[in-house]
């Protein structure tokens, strides 16, 4: 467990991000199991509008987005409380991505309303010590969504995943608020391989600059 102390001291607050099917929640869980940190997960299953959104995006985009916004606001309060006590944390979301989904999913008038609510909530989240972006090809996202077999996700069209993937890529192209590790997530499979997880952990511990890349050739 020597790396456990090091990763906690070096990166007390780690955020793992990526599109649906990238494996961000799986990675967050596995790291939290291995290292002594608190785990903060986006509770997608708690959103009562999400399954209906995938069936009729135009109708249910706004309530789905607002539910997630309020949920994340509550989670930010929990994170700030942990920060007061100096507790380390790993999360599979961060607030900055919320407008990304909103801009992708909402009509202009809905986005204007969402933006007013977002601004008036005056949300201020803790800055991550490290952000890990799991960059994953669309076909791999589709395959992993199908494999995990969550019923309402099976209706997600490829076009939506492609647009979402492009939005993530554009967002992280200019992201510089925290150190960023961009992981080519096509071949590395931390779900089924502890060795793959070890490889990723070793790379995380090597991060020194504001933007780094990890391109493992792992099957």
Residue 4 pLDDT > 50: no
Q: What does the pLDDT average to over 35-39?
A: 85
Residue 58 pLDDT > 50: yes
pLDDT in tens, 109-164: 999 999 999 998 877 788 899 999 999 999 999 998 988 878 888 888 899 999 99
Distance CA 122, CA 125 (A): 10
- Which of 74-83, 89-98, 127-136 has the least mean pLDDT? 74-83
Distance CA 142, CA 161 (A): 8
pLDDT in tens, 94-104: 888 899 999 99
Q: Identify the CATH number of the domain defined by range 2-214.
A: 3.40.50.300
pLDDT value at residue 219: 55
pLDDT value at residue 1: 44
pLDDT value at residue 85: 53
The conformational region for residue 23 under phi > 0 = left, psi -120 to 50 = alpha, else beta, is left
Residue 206 pLDDT > 50: yes
Q: What does the pLDDT average to over 70-84?
A: 76
List of residues 6+ apart from 111 with CB closer than 8 A: 102, 103
Distance CA 62, CA 215 (A): 36
Q: What does the pLDDT average to over 173-191?
A: 89
- Indicate the domain borders of the chain: 2-214
């Amino acid at each position: 467990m020597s790396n456990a102390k090091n990763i906690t001291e070096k990166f007390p607050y780690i955020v793992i991000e990526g599109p649906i099917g990238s494996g961000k929640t799986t990675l967050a869980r596995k790291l939290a199991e291995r290292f002594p940190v608190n785990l903060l997960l986006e509770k997608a299953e708690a959103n009562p509008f999400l399954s209906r959104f995938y069936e009729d995006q135009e109708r249910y985009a706004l309530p789905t987005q607002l539910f997630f916004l309020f949920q994340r606001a509550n989670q930010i309060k929990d994170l700030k409380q942990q920060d007061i006590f100096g507790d380390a944390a790993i999360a599979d979301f961060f607030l900055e991505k919320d407008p990304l989904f909103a801009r992708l999913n909402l009509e202009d008038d809905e986005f204007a309303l969402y933006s007013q609510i977002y601004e008036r909530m005056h949300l201020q989240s803790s800055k991550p010590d490290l952000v890990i972006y799991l960059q994953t090809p669309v076909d791999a996202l589709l395959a992993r969504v199908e494999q995990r077999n969550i019923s309402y996700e099976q209706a997600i069209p490829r076009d939506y995943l492609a647009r979402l993937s492009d939005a993530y890529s554009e967002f992280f192209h200019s992201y510089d608020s925290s150190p960023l590790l961009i992981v080519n997530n096509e071949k590395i499979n931390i779900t089924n391989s502890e060795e793959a997880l070890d490889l990723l952990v070793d790379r995380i511990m090597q991060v020194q600059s504001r933007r780094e890349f990890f391109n493992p050739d792992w099957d």
